[in-house]
Amino acid sequence: MNTDLLVIGGGIAGITAAVEAAETGREVVLVEKQHQLGGRVLQMHKYFPKLCPPVCGLEINFRRIRQNPKIKVLTGAKPTSIEGVPGDLTAIIHVEPSYVKADFTSGKGVENDCPVEIADRFNFGMNRTKAFRLPHELAYPYRYVIDEESAHDPAMKQFIESSGIEGVDLDMQPEDVEVKAKAVIWATGWEPYDANKLDHLAYGRLPNVVTNMEMERIAAVNGPTKGKILRPSDQQPITRAAFVQCAGSRDENHLPYCSAVCCMASLKQSRYIREQYPDAEIHIFFIDARTPGRWEDFYQEVQDDEKTVIHRGKVARIEEAGNGMVTLTAENTLTGKLEQVSVDMAILATGMVPTVAVDAPPIKINVDEFGFIQNNGTSVVVGAGVATGPKDVASTNEEATGAVVRALQMMTGK
């Protein structure tokens, strides 16, 4: 197919770029590797600082996509090659099968009887889910999918045959689609830093040590506990929780840079807990509290909460304390004294790793030493969102809109 703009990555950056370009009258092909749009923001429970649900903004954007014939969306799709020069680029997009045809309708909900279950990756494996499902309540495209690994499971085949569900094709094959475009926006976002590398923080060893992204899912109404925040080890309520800032960030042994959003994310998550548990105590361990601009108001509000204690210092270790509790030890950067707190749950504020660094693009892109795209005119593509540097959703949307202008310039050769 021919288009003006090819957007790689269907998270909030890619969606914004695609919609803004289409509303400027350009043809757009938006490519997303998952079987639905939304990326990381779809996994978020709330946005800071308004504590509003990300699905609200996504719904407006999905509505804009639905009503705009200039946008084509390819999901389950990744580019395998991109060649050419700005103004004349050819990409091959590999599209994985979803095994469910577009005209499958939910019917009476027979798919709910699917016996094949898999670890729910959307919830970071904290629960199991039907292998035949709508990927999300708000999924765009509104289309059921069957996971690759389950499509070839004999139990799935038997279920489809015995239940008489129509619109499923377990023999569906992947296909390669050629897209000719004038410009490409690269908005492949980020992966959470692997907390398993943080041995001193006991992630993976102690069930009550979770990451900030896991916390988003735990708090979400469609998360593993239907939004009820509970201690993972025994599903008990939270009396005390701690946030470990810069877990692997600003650390030469892990991520030397700061991920820019984790301070606000943890402050926001402290509110999730406090809203559910009016008596719970929160401890936040900062090196520096980074809440730039008007976000400072949010930090001030959290500081006004008498149940929230701000500690100055980087957590050195987390250990089991018995009874499901975990003990955090930190050196106070001001006093040099060791501080210890025992909590039901420790949340690690882990940082962002650019996807470009872990999943190499099929085209040369100029990046910095960490893998963030440098938008300095030396690449064939324009970067947008966290692909160019750690940032929050507001900054991502700002940049993604601006990226369209850069792409327009590439289209016209300026």
Partner 1 sequence: MEAKTGVYICSGCGIKDSCNVEAIAKMVEDELDVELCKVDPLVCGDECVAGIKADIEAAGLDHVVIAGCSGRYFSDRFKFGDNVLIDRVALREFVAWTSDPQADIDDIEEVIQEQAEDYLRMSAARMKYSEAPVPMDVEETSRDIMVVGAGVAGLNAALAAADAGYKVTLVEKEAELGGWSRKFKTVIPQAAPYREPQAPPHTELVKAVNDHELIKVLTSSTVTRTSGQPGQFDVTIQNGSGEEKLRIGAIVQATGWLPYDPTRLADKYGYGRLPNVITNVMMEEMAAAGRIARPSDGAAPKAVAIIHCAGSRDREFLPYCSAVCCRVAMKQALYIREQMPDTDVYLLYKDIRSPGVFEQFYARVQDEEGIYLTKGEVVEVVEDGNGGVSVTLDDTLLGENITVQADMLVLATGMVPTTLVETDETDGAETEEKPAEESPGDGDEKSRAAGAETGANILALTYRQGTDLPTLKYGFPDSHFICFPYETRRTGIYAAGAVRAPMDMGMARNDGLGAALKAIQAVEAFPLGRALHPRSGDISFPEFFLQRCTQCKRCTEECPFGSLDEDDKGTPEPNLLRCRRCGICMGACPERIISFKDYSPNMISQMIKVISMPEEDDERPRYLVFMCENDALPAFDIAAWHRHKISPWVRIIPVRCIGSVNTVFIADALNGGFDGILLLGCKRGDDYQCHFVRGSELANTRMENVQEKLLQLSLEEERVQIHEVELSDWDRIPEIINDFVEEINDIGPNPFKDF
Residue 391 and residue 122: Cα distance in Å, rounded? 22
Edge-to-edge strand order for the sheet containing 183-186? 71-75, 28-32, 5-8, 183-186, 381-383
CB of 124 to partner 1, least distance (A): 19
CB of 354 to partner 1, least distance (A): 10
| Smaller CB separation from partner 1, 196 or 294 | 294
Which amino acid does the sequence have at 400? A
The encoded tokens of residue 408 equal 């327009």
| Smaller CB separation from partner 1, 51 or 155 | 51
CB of 222 to partner 1, least distance (A): 8
CB of 188 to partner 1, least distance (A): 17
DSSP conformational letter for 199: G
| Smaller CB separation from partner 1, 129 or 259 | 259
Query: Which residue, among 220, 213, 276, has the nearest Cα to 248 in the 3D structure?
Result: 213
The encoded tokens of residue 306 equal 């008498």
Stated length of the chain = 414
CB of 83 to partner 1, least distance (A): 25
| Smaller CB separation from partner 1, 109 or 154 | 109
* Signed CA dihedral, 80, 135, 352, 300: sign only: positive
CB of 25 to partner 1, least distance (A): 6
Burial class (CB in 10 A: 0-12, 13-18, 19+), 267: buried
List of E strands, 33-76: 71-75
CB of 141 to partner 1, least distance (A): 10
Q: Give the HSE-up count for residue 152: Cα atoms under 13 Å, Cβ half-sphere.
A: 5
Which amino acid does the sequence have at 342? S
Other Cβ atoms less than 10 A from the Cβ of 199: the count is 11
Strand partners, 373: 367
CB of 216 to partner 1, least distance (A): 12
| Smaller CB separation from partner 1, 92 or 287 | 287
The encoded tokens of residue 375 equal 């938008």
The encoded tokens of residue 133 equal 């499902």
CB of 277 to partner 1, least distance (A): 19
| Smaller CB separation from partner 1, 64 or 94 | 64
At 225, is the secondary structure helix, strand, or coil? coil
Residue linked to tokens 């009396």: 239
Which amino acid does the sequence have at 297? D
| Smaller CB separation from partner 1, 2 or 333 | 333
| Smaller CB separation from partner 1, 233 or 401 | 401
DSSP 230-274: --TTT-PPPSEEEEEEEESBS-TTSB-S--SSHHHHHHHHHHHHH
CB of 193 to partner 1, least distance (A): 14
Residue 63 and residue 228: Cα distance in Å, rounded? 30
| Smaller CB separation from partner 1, 164 or 414 | 414
Strand partners, 292: none
| Smaller CB separation from partner 1, 106 or 323 | 106
